[in-house]
A and B are shown apart, each in its own frame.
Chain A
Amino acid sequence: MSDLTFPADLRYTQDHEWARKDGNAVVVGITAFAQSQLGDVVYVELPEPGKTVTAGESFGVVESTKAVSELIAPVTGTVVERNDPLVDSPEKVNDDPYDAGWMIKVEPADPSAFDKLMDAAAYGEFVAKQG
């Protein structure tokens, strides 16, 4: 697991999503650990802009060659943008989980929700405990 990175400017959830602040919005994706556990990602299903997502609840689906996994929203809010190119190139989730593999941008209902998520050190420890 030593090759997995958890950038310091991101926040993380126990469901292995990451969140990055982008002005008033929050960009969401899955972590390097999550993609490594899933294996080759071959399909993503993301909500359209305008939809509401709820922290701790499913906002979409990511499928690897063998498994179907729910995507769990880190914050509650409204989807303002979706990474459409990802739909045709889902392998970007494996290749570049923190940049080209981003999934949705959410305008959070409560801007302080972001700060309550785990920081990189806490998430690193959490992942280490997962073995």
Chain B
Amino acid sequence: MAPRRTPLYDAHVRHGGKLVEFAGWELPVQYKGVIDEHRAVREAAGLFDVSHMGEVFFEGEGALEACNELVTNDLRSIGDGQALYAGLLNERGGFVDDVICYRFSPTKILVCTNASNAEKDFEWMKSHAKAGPVVRDAGADFAQLALQGPKAIGILQKLTSADLQAIAFFRFAEIEVDGKPVIAARTGYTGEDGFEIFCRPGDATDLWEAILAAGKDEGLMPAGLGARDSLRTESKLALYGNDIDDEHTPLEASLGWIVKLDKPGFIGKEALVRQKADGVKRKLIGFELTERGIPRHGYPILSNGQPVGVVTSGTMSPTLQKPIGIGYVPPELASEGSTFEVEIRGKPVAARVVKTPFYKRPA
């Protein structure tokens, strides 16, 4: 099957994007270069096309309750206009996906899902949601742009009369940008301040060009999947399919903070309660190599020469200039300072568990 194209496909070609297939979509892996784009996001701003992400609406009486029974976090703990990161779990407590829920009102919740899981998630939510509210696949209703970086807010402010500073972190508002109606959410997956902008597919190209023009003199660059991956790795943000999947639970993935065991039941809760009582057998940690090499997804983690875990993500950190990685290890190797080896092309390379996120933006 030919990969799908986002409404911004022509814009990517025009801006020199190097297109690759990702999660069934044809998307730019880079424009000018991964490291330049990564630095632009850390120091100024970067603009990403994230239109491949999935969107599902819960609408009608009981929408909040229905959605809340499917996710680990508690939608009752936030107000309208707020977003919440959560796990969508199977009965074993494994991830169906990790999602962001946007609460418009108790009768309207938008769930943003990963592209690779969009269809699976929609089917899962539709078949497992209790009767009442409508569960609707809204993927075709939206294109999505992510403007990320310390200068993101200033750049976007040039295009709107709405007061963007009034939209706090993990809050969102329905506003106009460049004269087009959008949902502007102060969320993102790079570890930087910024906005995710849900817009009509037909408005995506104009918005893309308007934002790039507004940020031209401030160092804004279009950024691709390559930079997105190194940015989220530095911030130790989990990637579905790499760091988390249906075999791993939030407690193993060090995402206990998105699990609210004291809320009314949700799918996977019993499994997590048991796992919490028994203790986890593996834990997702961040490490750096103390010898030369680059850790990558799938490389074995060794202790005393024996395989004990696996690398789930890794890169040469453009910000820290060090090889960093994320991986599962037994709990006894999970504390900061613990050492082990990563097997790189048959050779053990020394590694040490470090505090994460590897990179944290200045307060």
A residues near B (Cβ < 8 Å) are 39-40, 42-43, 45, 61, 63-66, 68, 87, 91, 94
Contact = CB atoms under 8 A, between A and B. Distances in A.
Interface string B283-306: 000000000111010000000000
A32 to B, nearest CB: 15
Interface in B108-131: none
A85 to B, nearest CB: 14
A65 B345 contact: no
Contacts of B18: 39
Given A39-B30, A39-B34, A65 B316 contact: yes
18 contacts: A39-B18, A39-B30, A42-B35, A42-B316, A43-B292, A43-B316, A43-B323, A45-B292, A61-B345, A63-B294, A65-B226, A65-B230, A65-B315, A65-B316, A65-B318, A66-B29, A66-B226, A66-B229
B337 interface: no
B33 interface: yes
Contacts of A40: 33-35
A40 B294 CA distance: 14
B293 to A, nearest CB: 7
Nearest to A43: B294
Nearest to B29: A66
A66 B35 CA distance: 11
Interface residues of B, number: 18
Nearest to A67: B296
Contacts of B29: 39, 66
A90 B345 CA distance: 19
A63 to B, nearest CB: 5
Contacts of B30: 39
A65 B34 contact: yes
Tell which of B30, B294, B318, B345 has the most Cβ of chain A within 10 Å: B294
A68 B33 contact: no
A42 B294 contact: yes
B323 to A, nearest CB: 8
Contacts of A65: 34-35, 226, 230, 315-316, 318
B290 to A, nearest CB: 15
A6 B122 CA distance: 51
Contacts of A66: 29, 34, 226, 229
B33 A39 contact: yes
A43 B293 contact: yes
Contacts of B296: 68
Q: Which 6 A-B pairs have the closest CB atoms?
A: A42-B316, A65-B34, A40-B35, A40-B34, A43-B294, A63-B294
A63 B289 CA distance: 16
Interface in B1-35: 18, 29-30, 33-35
B170 to A, nearest CB: 29
Interface in B294-335: 294, 296, 315-316, 318, 323
Contacts of B294: 42-43, 63, 68
B193 to A, nearest CB: 24
Interface in B29-74: 29-30, 33-35
A64 B292 CA distance: 14
B351 to A, nearest CB: 15
B36 to A, nearest CB: 8
Contacts of A94: 33
A58 to B, nearest CB: 10
A63 B30 CA distance: 16
A94 B35 CA distance: 12
B173 to A, nearest CB: 35
A55 to B, nearest CB: 21
Given A39-B18, A64-B34, A66-B229, 11 more contacts: A39-B30, A40-B33, A40-B34, A43-B292, A43-B293, A61-B345, A63-B316, A65-B315, A65-B318, A66-B34, A94-B33
B210 to A, nearest CB: 28
Nearest to B225: A66
B293 A39 contact: no
Contact of A39 (B226, B229, B316, B323): B226
A84 B323 CA distance: 19
A64 B296 CA distance: 12
Contacts of B229: 66
A109 to B, nearest CB: 26
A40 B29 CA distance: 12
Nearest to A70: B345
A39 B293 CA distance: 18
A32 B318 CA distance: 22
Interface string B219-231: 0000000100110
